[in-house]
């Protein structure tokens, strides 16, 4: 059985898997496919892999070719590229920069399909939920389409409708990606550092949440509850009676985009006030709530009357638990105060480091990084870019960063960019210092210190309680010869496959030689039925041996391994 079929029993569409291989090969990633152990797939499917005739592809960089491949593969892979663009700890900077260009704008699907989808999701005719629906979409993306509508009760709303068939396509693509990730772990040395299977699981979790619009509705309400005491933050209302997993109906909010400068005077927008409020709101999300909007590009920020800010599109959010919030507060405080020793200490204490970490080199690079900011006035420091640069340095030493921290760094860059475009004198450090100081005071308050001490004591108490039992079990296993150590040899699968192929070729060669020798002996006996004056058995043996020999030579030449 071909390796292709062995690894794809769980994939519902082999044609989709072949299409992925075809596209990657088309854009010049044959070597990567061979490293994944898919050389046999490439060889046996060569006739299906029609390459593009355009010579421009060969002149493009690897990052550009991969971006084009992801765009051709469709919505799931575009979303994967967008996720990877927030992970400079996983892919090189050139790929991060290129993947940031990925856009998921696609042609809209017909209005008839929209009404059919609404009927299926809401469980009844569209006329019983909406008085009117604008047939022209406000936006069309790879996962959903957005239309203006009006409820029967008269409220103006927008409805976000999931694209028909997108769930099945995404699930099929996730299965293919998981198979490729497992192949990468088996065949590519050092891939365990990046944990490709865990990366695909993270992506699957993210895109499944994004496709569940009921979850997005609850996210909007959570943000509204978090900012209930903040009158200058507004969140659209969710109409649950007209919503489902594949449909989200929200209040239509009339405002202007943060980039629409021509309307600022007409609406009485105070640019400096908007910049300050936006920064304060984002920092409160991160350091107080531990729950922040993860897609804060200018198109998702509206300005309402009286300088009120409204955020849109809550499909991507980031979460920081208490431990991560504490780590972020401490690391930002150390970076802003240029305390290199504290930065290194925090990284080492976090513990998510490789065994061969060169601490001396890490300290040297971090010192150079911090020294580079000594002569820059605080008001000119861009905290988001500084944090991104810091992350790039520590990822060189295989220090793993939580995905939400990567998303936070990118969001912080966007917030600062919007702030400086509204107010050239915008200073994120000025906003960051009081928030960090407040977080530190809360962290070291007597109540929290007492709580942390109790947690530590309780952990040690559990350790002391379980230690005698664990030690006894360990000794008993040794005494019963039940103590086992599992060893895994990475990369052995490829050697085994090549060895099996060589043995098979050797066996065929021996059979071929035996057929030739046997046919020659029969030829000498000159007995049995004749064909053209030769014994039929001998003639048949030579013919079969010739066919097998030619097939074997052809297979060896096609494999490129003479």
Annotated catalytic residue, options 89, 173, 212, 295:
295
pLDDT in tens, 395-416: 777 777 777 887 888 888 888 8
* Spatial separation of the C-alpha atoms in residues 382 and 186, rounded to whole Å: 41
pLDDT in tens, 489-515: 655 566 666 666 778 777 777 887 887
**Does residue 124 have a pLDDT over 80?**
yes
Tell which residue, 503, 562, 557, has the closest CA to residue 43. 557
pLDDT of 54: 46
* Spatial separation of the C-alpha atoms in residues 382 and 385, rounded to whole Å: 6
pLDDT of 46: 52
**Does residue 8 have a pLDDT over 50?**
no
* Spatial separation of the C-alpha atoms in residues 234 and 402, rounded to whole Å: 29
Q: Which residues pair with 291 in a beta bridge?
A: 319
Angle between helices 536-559 and 492-525 (to 10 degrees): 160
Band (22; pLDDT cuts 50, 70, 90): confident
Name the more confident of 476 and 556: 476
Backbone φ and ψ of 120, nearest 5°: -65, -45
pLDDT in tens, 277-325: 999 999 889 888 889 998 888 888 999 999 999 999 898 898 888 878 8
User: Per-residue pLDDT averaged across 91-105, rounded?
Assistant: 80
Angle between helices 403-422 and 428-443 (to 10 degrees): 140
pLDDT of 158: 95
pLDDT of 533: 65
Q: Where are the alpha helices (DSSP H) in 10-110?
A: 14-26, 30-35, 39-44, 56-59, 62-73, 75-84, 93-99
Number of other residues whose CB lies within 10 A of the CB of residue 44: 12
**Does residue 5 have a pLDDT over 60?**
no
Long-range contacts of 330-338 (CB under 8 A, 24+ apart): 332/383, 332/387, 332/432, 332/436, 333/436, 333/440, 335/370, 335/386, 335/387, 335/390, 336/378, 336/381, 336/383, 336/429, 336/432, 336/433, 336/436, 338/370, 338/373, 338/374
| Contact by Cβ (8 Å): 199, 180 | no
| Contact by Cβ (8 Å): 307, 274 | yes
Does residue 146 sit in helix, strand or coil? strand
Residue with tokens 């029969």: 522
Band (247; pLDDT cuts 50, 70, 90): very high
pLDDT of 10: 47
pLDDT in tens, 184-217: 888 777 666 667 888 888 889 889 988 999 999 9
User: Per-residue pLDDT averaged across 382-399, rounded?
Assistant: 76
Active site residue 295: yes
Is 0.75 surpassed by the pTM of this model?
no
Query: How is 335-367 classified by DSSP, letter by letter?
Result: HHTT-HHHHHHHHHHH----TT--HHHHHHHHH
* Spatial separation of the C-alpha atoms in residues 283 and 551, rounded to whole Å: 68
Percentage above 90 pLDDT, the chain: 21
**Does residue 480 have a pLDDT over 60?**
yes
Widest pairwise Cα distance in the chain? 109
Band (468; pLDDT cuts 50, 70, 90): confident
* Spatial separation of the C-alpha atoms in residues 352 and 354, rounded to whole Å: 7
Mean of all residue pLDDT scores within the chain: 80
pLDDT of 354: 61
**Does residue 526 have a pLDDT over 70?**
no
pLDDT in tens, 40-88: 666 555 545 454 444 467 788 888 889 888 888 888 888 888 888 877 7
Whole-number Cα distances in Å, 5 to 10, 40, 546: 10, 11, 30
User: Per-residue pLDDT averaged across 358-376, rounded?
Assistant: 75
């Amino acid at each position: 059985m071909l390796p292709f079929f062995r690894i794809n029993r769980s994939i519902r569409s082999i044609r989709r898997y072949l299409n992925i291989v075809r596209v990657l090969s088309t854009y010049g990633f044959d070597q990567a496919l061979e490293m994944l152990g898919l050389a046999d797939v490439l060889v046996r499917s060569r006739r299906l892999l029609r390459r593009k005739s355009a010579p421009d592809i060969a002149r493009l960089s690897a990052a550009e070719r991969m971006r084009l491949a992801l765009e051709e593969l469709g919505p799931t892979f575009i979303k994967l590229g967008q996720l990877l663009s927030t992970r400079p700890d996983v892919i090189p900077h050139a790929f991060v920069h290129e993947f940031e260009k990925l856009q998921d704008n696609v042609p809209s699907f017909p209005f008839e399909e929209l009404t059919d989808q609404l009927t299926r999701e809401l469980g009844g005719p569209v006329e019983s939920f909406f008085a009117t629906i604008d047939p022209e979409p406000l936006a069309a993306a790879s996962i959903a389409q957005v239309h203006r509508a009006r409820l029967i009760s008269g409220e103006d709303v927008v409805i976000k409708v999931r694209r028909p068939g997108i769930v099945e396509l995404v699930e099929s693509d996730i299965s293919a990606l998981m198979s490729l990730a497992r192949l990468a772990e088996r065949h590519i040395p050092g891939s365990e550092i990046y944990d490709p299977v865990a990366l695909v699981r993270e992506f699957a979790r993210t895109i499944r949440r994004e496709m569940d619009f009921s979850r997005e509705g609850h996210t909007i309400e959570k943000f509204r509850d978090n900012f209930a005491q903040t009158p200058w933050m507004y969140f659209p209302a969710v109409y649950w009676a007209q919503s489902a997993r594949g449909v989200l109906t929200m209040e239509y909010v009339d405002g202007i985009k943060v980039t629409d400068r021509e309307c600022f005077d007409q609406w009485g927008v105070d640019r400096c006030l908007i910049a300050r409020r936006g920064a304060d709101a984002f920092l409160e999300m991160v350091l107080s709530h531990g729950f922040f909007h993860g897609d804060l590009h200018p198109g998702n920020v509206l300005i309402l009357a009286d300088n009120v800010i409204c955020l849109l599109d809550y499909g991507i959010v980031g979460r920081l638990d208490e431990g991560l919030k504490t780590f972020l507060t401490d690391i930002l405080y150390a970076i802003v105060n240029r305390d290199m020793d504290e930065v290194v200490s925090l990284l080492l204490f976090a513990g998510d480091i490789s065994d061969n970490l060169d601490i001396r080199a890490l300290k040297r690079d971090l010192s150079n990084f911090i020294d580079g900011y000594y002569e820059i006035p605080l008001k000119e420091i861009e905290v988001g870019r500084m944090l991104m640069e810091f992350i790039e340095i520590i990822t060189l030493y295989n220090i793993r960063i939580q995905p939400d921290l990567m998303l936070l760094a990118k969001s912080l860059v966007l917030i600062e960019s919007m702030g400086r475009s509204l107010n050239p004198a915008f200073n994120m450090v000025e906003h960051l210092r009081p928030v960090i100081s407040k977080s530190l005071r809360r962290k070291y308050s007597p109540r929290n210190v007492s709580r942390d001490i109790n947690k530590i004591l309780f952990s040690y108490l559990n350790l002391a309680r379980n230690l005698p039992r664990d030690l006894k079990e360990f000794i008993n296993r040794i005494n019963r010869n039940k103590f086992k150590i599992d060893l895994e040899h990475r990369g052995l699968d490829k050697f085994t496959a090549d060895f099996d192929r060589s043995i098979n070729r050797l066996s065929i060669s021996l059979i071929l030689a035996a057929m030739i020798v046997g046919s020659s002996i029969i030829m000498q006996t000159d007995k049995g039925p004749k064909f053209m004056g030769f014994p039929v058995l001998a003639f048949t043996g030579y013919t079969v041996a010739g066919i097998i020999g030619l097939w074997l030579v052809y297979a060896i030449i096609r494999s490129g391994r003479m």
